[in-house]
Chain A
Amino acid sequence: MTTAKLNRRSNAGENPLAKIIKQNGKKILAPIVAIALFLLIWQLACSGPKPNLPSPLTTVQETWELIVNPFFDNGGTDKGLALQIGASLGRVAVGFTLSAVVGIVLGILIGTNELLFIAVDPLFQVLRTVPPLAWLPISLAAFRDSEPSAIFVIFITSIWPILINTIVGVQQIPQDYRNVARVLRLSGWKYFYKIVFPASVPYIFTGLRIGIGLSWLAIVAAEMLVGGVGIGFFIWDAWNSTRLSEIIIALVYVGVVGLMLDRLVAFIASKVVPADQK
C-alpha cells in the first residue's frame, strides 16, 4: 500500500513537459530519429571527394544567403525564395479558386441531374487522367501568354477531384434528407442551399484537399516550362546553372508549403463540417 502511494506521489510531481514527452514519446522521437538517420546516410553517401550531389552540410553552406534572406528582390527573376514561393502561391490561389467555384457549382448541378451525369461522366473519366503538363501546349496555344496558361493548367488539374467528389457527395445525400425536403415541399433553390450544399460539404472538402495538392504539383511543373517569377522556374533556372544546392533547398520549401496547404484546407474543413458528418 505505502509503496503504491509513494509511486503515485512521485508521478504527480513530474513536470508537465516531461509528461507530454513521456506520453507522446514515440510520436515525437521516432520521426526525429528517422530524419537524423536520413541526413546521416545522405551525408555519408555524398561526402566523397567529388560527389554527384551535395551533402546536407554543403547544401546549407552554399545556400546560406538564400535561407537567411528570403525577401531580397534584385529585379527580374532574381528574387528571394519567399517571393518566389509567393508568386507561385498567387497563381495557385487564382487557379484553385476558379476550379473550386466552377467544380462545386457544376458538381451540384450534375449530381442532382441523373441524365446530365450519365451524359458527361465518361468525358470526365477520360479528361481527369490527362497529366497536368499535357494541357500546357494547348493552353499556350489558346491563351498565347504564359501567365493565364499556367493558371489554366492549375485550374484543369485541380477541378476533376473537386467536381467528381461534389457529384458523388450530392448523389450520396441520404434518402432521409431528401425525404425531409420532399415532405416539407422545399422549393428548388431552398433545397439546394438548405439541404444539398450542406449535406455534400464533407465530400466537397475531400475534393478540395486533393485538388489543392494537385494544383501545387501542377504549378511547379508548369512554371518550369513557362518561366517568370515562381518557385518552379527558380528550380529550372538553378538546374541550368547547375546550382544543385539551391534546387535541394527549393525542394524542401516546395514540400513544406505543399504540406501546409493541405493542412490549411483540412483545418478549414474541421471548422466547417459538422461533427456528425465526418
Chain B
Amino acid sequence: MPHAPCPMPHARLAITHYPLPITMSVFVEVDHVDRVFNLANGGKYIALKDIELRIRQGEFISLIGHSGCGKSTLLNIIAGLDRASSGGVILEGREVKDPGPDRMVVFQNYSLLPWLTVRENISLAVDEVYQKKSAAERKAIIEHHIDIVGLRHAAAKRPGQLSGGMKQRVAIARALALRPKLLLLDEPFGALDALTRGSLQEQLMKICNENNVTCVMVTHDVDEALLLSDRIVMLTNGPEAQIGQILEVPIPRPRKRLEVVNHPDYYSLRNEMIYFLNQQKLAKKRKTQAQAPAVVSRNGLEKVNLDIGFIPLTDAAPLIVAKEKGFFANHGLEEVTLFREPSWKEIAKGVGTGRLDAAQMLAGMPIALTLGAGDKRPLPMVSAITLSRNGNAITFSKKLFNGGVRTLEDFKAFISADPDKVHTLGMVHPTSIHNLMLRYWLAAGGIDPDRDVHLTVIPPAQMVSNLKAGNIDGYCAGDPWNTRAIKEDLGFAIATDLDIWSGHPEKVLGVTEEWANKYPKTHQALVTALLEACEYCDDRRNREEIVELLSLPDYLNMNPEYIRPGFIDSYNRGIGEEPEEMYSYNQFYVNKTNYPDKNEHLWIMTQLARWGLAPFPKNWVDILTRVCRSDVFGAAARDLGFLDTAREATSIRLFDGIVFNPDEPMQYLNSLAIKRQIRIEEIFLDSLAA
C-alpha cells in the first residue's frame, strides 16, 4: 500500500507496519485512505485524511457527519467510483480498483434511467451481470425482486410516474437483484417522507438480515443510523476529515423501529451522537467566524475566554471539576469552554493551530511536539503542571486469557509458540506514556515491540469496539476503557501501571510557548485553578460527586459503574480474583503529583529516542528548561498555600529494576538491549516567542 508522507507522528508506525492478520472476520478493510482533490487555482483540498476502518461480513455500518465531511467520498472510494489518493480499500483480500456489481450502490437520487420502466431498469442490471444465466432464470430473478419491494403493480411504469419512495424501492431492488457482496447506500432515505422512510428502513433491515448482506450507509439521521447499524462511524468536519468516533450499537436483532427506543442504551447512544455532531458544528462555526477566537480581557487577566480540549477519560477530572466547581471562575477565568476531542491527534493539532488555548495532554506530548517528533516542525510547548499520575492498564483479550496468558512471560511464550501469527496491540498515541510504557514493558519481557508484535494507534474511545471486533489482541489505555472491556467480559487487565511504574506522570497541561508568553497572567491563573482542582479531586470524600460530574453527557457520557473501579471502588482485573483496592490508581494531588518534573520528561525523551519516534536532542537541558515551567507551578502553589517543593530527585526505577540516572541519559539509552537506531541531533527552536 503506498503511503503519502504523513506529517502525523504515528505515520512512522504505519510505515514500519507488518502484514496485518487477514482474519476471516475482516471483510472490507479501508486502509489509511487519504483523498486529496486538486483545486482549479492550483491548491489542494484534503477531503479525507487517514481513514482506517474494518468491516466484518454481514455487518451494517453507518457513516455519519455534517455535510461536506466526505462521507459520500468515502463511500465512492469503497465503491471504486473514486480512487483514494493514498491508501486503499481491500474487499475479501483484493484491492478495489474500479466499480463493479459486487459492490452495488444505491445512489442518493435513485439513479434510475428515466426512459426505462421499473422492470427494464432492473433487467438492465440483471441481464448485464448474469449473462451466463438463461433468459428464464434472469426473468425469475427480476420478477422475484419486483415482488420483494412490492412493486408488482408498477412494474410497467417509468420512474417519472413513481413517487420518491417507489423509486428508491426500485433502486434497492436493482441493487439486491445482483446479490452484491457489499451494498453501499448513499443517504437512501434522505428525500422521503417520514412514513415511507420508516417502512423502507424496516424492509431494508429485513432483506439485509435474511440475505446476510454487508452494508455501508451514508446518512445524517441519527435515529436511522441507530435503528439500522451495528456500528456507527462518525466523521469529523472536512477538510482533513477523519474518523472521530466509532459507536457500537448493542441493540439485539431483529429490531423493530418502534421498539429500539426502549432499549436502555438507546438514548445514551443517541446523546453521544448528537454531542459529537454538535461539537463538530461548533468547530465549524469557530472556523468560519475567525481564525483566532476573540480575546476577552477581564479581571486583570489578558484572556478569560479559554477553549480547552480534553479526552473523555477518568483523569480528565481536574479540568471538569475546575469548570463545574468554579475553580476557573474563582481565579478570574470566567469563560472557559471544555471541548471533548476525538483523539490525541486532534488535541495536538488544536493547540498547534491555536484553535484550543490549552489542553489536557499526554505526559509525552509537550516534549514530543517541542522535538518535532514524526518529522514535524518543532513546536515549542510549555507544561507547568502535571494533572494526574497512574490510571492506565494493559488489557489483553479474553482469547489470550483462555490461551493461558496471565503474565508477561506467558505472553512471550505464547508469541514464540506461533511466530507466524501477528499479535496487534493498540495504544492511543505514539508519544503517549501508554505507548512508551507498553513498549518498555514488552521489551523488558524480551519482546521487541516493533518486530514481535504489531502496534497500532487507536483513540481511547474506540479501543473496546476494536477489541470486540478482533482487530486488536490487547491495548494500553486509560480508564474507564479497561474497565469497560473487563465488565463486558472482553478482556482482562494483565498489568496496571502500578505494576510497571507506580506514580508515573500521566496527563499534563499543555500550551504553546508562544501562548504562555503572550498571556502569562492567564497561564498562571489556569495553572493555579487546575492545581486547586487537582487537590479537590484527590480528596476521596469528593469522589462520588466527581463520578456524577464525569458521567454527564457533555463529558464522559457513560454509566458511572464503568468509571468507579479504581477511582472509588476496588479494581477488578477480570482474572477471576477478588477486586483489589488501589488507592493511588487515579492520583491527582498527593505525593507531589503536580510538580512538572524535568527528570520524568527526560526519561520520556530517552524513550522517544529509543523507539525512533524523535531524535534525542543534544541540547536536552535547554529544552527541558523551556518545557517544564516549574516557576509557574511554584507561584501557583504559593498562591494557594500549598507546598512548593520539587519531587525528590530520586532516580526513576521501573518494575524491571533498571535505574534511570538523569545525569547520564546517553549511558542509559546505550544500556538498553532492545532499541531502534538512535538519532542524536541538535534541535533548534525559534528564539523565545514574544
Contacts and interface: CB of A to CB of B under 8 A. Distances in A.
Interface of A: 174, 176-177, 179-180, 182-186, 190, 194-195, 198-199, 201, 274-277
Contacts of B129: 184
B101 interface: yes
B103 interface: yes
Contacts of B161: 275
A185 B115 contact: no
Nearest to A185: B100
Contacts of A176: 107, 109, 111
Interface string B104-126: 11010101011100000000110
A157 B125 CA distance: 41
Contacts of B104: 183
A198 B107 contact: no
Contacts of A183: 79, 81, 99-101, 103-105
Contact of A275 (B101, B103, B158): B158
Contacts of A174: 111
Interface residues of B, number: 23
5 contacts: A183-B103, A183-B105, A184-B125, A275-B158, A277-B115
B99 to A, nearest CB: 5
A185 B101 contact: yes
A198 B100 contact: no
Contacts of B366: none
Given A179-B107, A184-B124, A184-B129, A277 B114 contact: yes
A185 B98 CA distance: 9
B150 interface: no
B472 to A, nearest CB: 34
Contacts of A274: 114-115, 158, 160
B160 A179 contact: no
Contacts of A184: 101, 124-125, 128-129
Nearest to A194: B124
A265 B2 CA distance: 56
Contacts of B342: none
A198 B111 contact: no
B109 A201 contact: no
B128 A190 contact: yes
B159 interface: yes
- Best-surrounded residue of B105, B109, B115, B158 (most CB of chain A within 10 A): B115
Contacts of A182: 81, 98-99
Contact of B113 (A177, A190, A275): A177
Contact of A276 (B107, B111, B158): B158
Interface string B18-52: 00000000000000000000000000000000000
Given A275-B158, A276-B159, A180 B100 contact: no
Contacts of B114: 274-277
Q: Which 4 A-B pairs have the closest CB atoms?
A: A276-B114, A276-B160, A176-B111, A275-B160
User: Chain A contact residues: over half helix, strand or loop, or mixed?
Assistant: helix
Nearest to B125: A184
B132 to A, nearest CB: 14
Given A182-B98, A184-B129, A177 B81 contact: no
B128 A185 contact: yes
- Best-surrounded residue of A176, A180, A277 (most CB of chain B within 10 A): A180
Interface in B134-170: 158-161
B78 to A, nearest CB: 12
Given A179-B111, A185-B99, A195-B113, 17 more contacts: A176-B109, A176-B111, A179-B81, A180-B107, A182-B98, A182-B99, A183-B99, A185-B100, A186-B128, A194-B113, A194-B124, A198-B115, A274-B115, A275-B161, A276-B115, A276-B158, A277-B115
Interface of B: 79, 81, 98-101, 103-105, 107, 109, 111, 113-115, 124-125, 128-129, 158-161
Contact of B115 (A179, A180, A201): A201
A176 to B, nearest CB: 4
B250 to A, nearest CB: 33
A184 B124 CA distance: 9
A272 B125 CA distance: 23
Contacts of B99: 179, 182-183, 185
B66 to A, nearest CB: 22
A180 to B, nearest CB: 5
A3 B289 CA distance: 66
A276 B128 CA distance: 24
B125 A179 contact: no
A216 B502 CA distance: 96
Contacts of B115: 198-199, 201, 274, 276-277
Nearest to A187: B128
A183 to B, nearest CB: 5
B72 to A, nearest CB: 12
A182 B115 CA distance: 18
Contacts of B124: 184, 194
Contacts of A194: 113, 124
Contacts of B159: 276
A182 B99 CA distance: 6
A177 B125 CA distance: 12
A274 B129 CA distance: 26
Contacts of B81: 179, 182-183
Nearest to A273: B115
Nearest to B120: A194
Nearest to A179: B81
Contacts of A199: 113, 115
A183 B105 CA distance: 8
A248 to B, nearest CB: 45
A174 B114 CA distance: 12
A184 B129 CA distance: 7
A190 B131 CA distance: 13
A182 B82 CA distance: 11
Contacts of A277: 114-115
A255 to B, nearest CB: 35
Given A183-B105, A184-B129, A185-B128, A198 B113 contact: yes
Contacts of B98: 182
Contacts of B101: 183-185
A110 B561 CA distance: 68
A177 B112 CA distance: 8
Contacts of B128: 184-186, 190
Nearest to A183: B99
A174 B111 CA distance: 9
A195 B105 CA distance: 17
A45 to B, nearest CB: 52
A203 to B, nearest CB: 14
Contacts of B103: 183
Contacts of A276: 114-115, 158-160
Nearest to A278: B160
Given A183-B81, A184-B101, A177 B158 contact: no
A195 B120 CA distance: 13
B109 to A, nearest CB: 6
A180 B79 contact: no
Nearest to B104: A183
A182 B100 CA distance: 7
A274 B81 CA distance: 28
A177 B109 CA distance: 11
Contacts of B125: 184
Nearest to A195: B113
Nearest to B171: A180
Nearest to B180: A183
A191 B111 CA distance: 15
- Best-surrounded residue of A176, A179, A184, A199 (most CB of chain B within 10 A): A184
A274 B160 CA distance: 8
A278 to B, nearest CB: 9
A59 B159 CA distance: 54
A184 B121 CA distance: 12
Nearest to A186: B128
